[in-house]
Amino acid sequence: MTAGVDVGHPQAQAIESDEDVVRVRQLVRTVAVAAKLSLVDQTKLVTAASELARNTLVYGGGGSVEVTTVDNGLRRGVRIVFADSGPGIADLDLALTDGYTTGGGLGLGLSGARRLVDEFDIDTGAGRGTRVTVTKWAR
């Protein structure tokens, strides 16, 4: 938990299917509107969330997401945590490189998501699953 940030009640959801990925997009959009993010920032956050949810499903073997409004005293924002108990990422720098994929994708999901948010953190490692936390602040 980041110091000095008050959080609302997290909205949790499983990520086990393509339909769940669609629901994640809808949930993030709803919370982003409530947090008064601009339309552009809503769309950036939804796009990042969509990529991360897809990774949770495809590489993590499914998992969960939690979406929360946050407030640091200056700004409101939205924080999203994706968690899975899959194989984890052995080389994070490599995984964050544009174009790197082990699944025949474009290899732009993680790196693109990082560029679309204000804060980006990954806790992962071979054999210990993956937890990605992103935050977008209203401006």
Ligand X SMILES: Nc1ncnc2c1ncn2[C@@H]1O[C@H](COP(=O)(O)OP(=O)(O)OP(=O)(O)O)[C@@H](O)[C@H]1O
- What are the residues binding Mg ion (CB under 5 A)? 55, 109
Contact 136, 44 (CB under 8 A): yes
Residues binding ligand X: what is the number (CB under 6 A)?
A: 23
The reply to whether 135 sits near ligand X by the rule CB under 6 A is no
- Find which of ligand X, Mg ion, none residue 77 binds, CB within 5 to 8 Å per kind: none
From residue 138, give the alpha-carbon distance in Å to each of 33, 75, 77, 119, 131: 10, 6, 5, 13, 23
The mark string for 9-48 relative to ligand X (x by CB under 6 A, - otherwise) is ----------------------------------------
Closer to ligand X by CB, 43 or 101: give it. 101
Closer to ligand X by CB, 60 or 77: give it. 60
